[in-house]
Amino acid sequence: MAEQSASHEAGFRLVRSRSSVPRARALLRAKLGEWRAGQEAVETAELVLSELMTNAVRVVVPGDRMIGVSIACRERGAWLRLEVSDAGDGRPEVRWPGELDTGGRGLLIVDALAFCWGVKERPAGIGKTIWAEVVTPAVVPAPPMVRPSVMS
């Protein structure tokens, strides 16, 4: 009989403040520890979440809107999905800052560390959710084998 993989989900809301970035990392670390995720997955997820949270804190939003965070964990952290929702307009774009620029590398870091990531509109139509999936190397499927062409 095959063993089913455990699946865990959690969510929380944080105020729009720079202090919410380390708070989100601490909450993520605690949840992943509770779910016994591997250390490599925890470290990668913390960095990805930090970058997503930093973008959400910086975006201009109406009123005192909060930031929503959602975590889904499968196979002891072998697969993680992180979502950060904010009420801001627009869509984030990967930037290519100059060597002396002090910011603008967040989505480059997310792009480098995440298996995949993207943006979706929130169901209520206010703002967006940026999501990223972190997958450990053992879970990433091998690239398809190249087969010779019948034409060669």
CA distance 70 to 92: 18
CA distance 27 to 8: 14
Single out the residue of 109, 115, 116 nearest to residue 53, CA to CA.
109
CA distance 84 to 68: 6
Using a pLDDT cut of 90, give the percent of the chain over it. 46
Q: What is the pLDDT of residues 48-84, one digit of tens each?
A: 999 999 999 988 887 788 999 999 998 877 889 999 9
> Does the pTM exceed 0.85?
no
Output the CA–CA distances (angstroms, integers) from residue 125 to 67, 70, 85, 89, in the order listed.
15, 18, 12, 10
Output the CA–CA distances (angstroms, integers) from residue 72 to 16, 35, 59, 133, 134, in the order listed.
22, 11, 24, 9, 10
Q: Which residues contact 96 (CB under 8 A, 6 or more apart)?
A: 108
Helices (H), 85-130: 106-113
Neighbours of 34 (CB within 10 A): 11
Higher pLDDT, 89 or 112: 112
Q: What average pLDDT does this structure show over 128-147?
A: 70
For the packed helices 39-58 and 106-113, what is the interaxial angle rounded to 10 degrees?
150
The dihedral of CA 123, 119, 11, 136: what is its sign? positive
Q: Which residues contact 101 (CB under 8 A, 6 or more apart)?
A: none
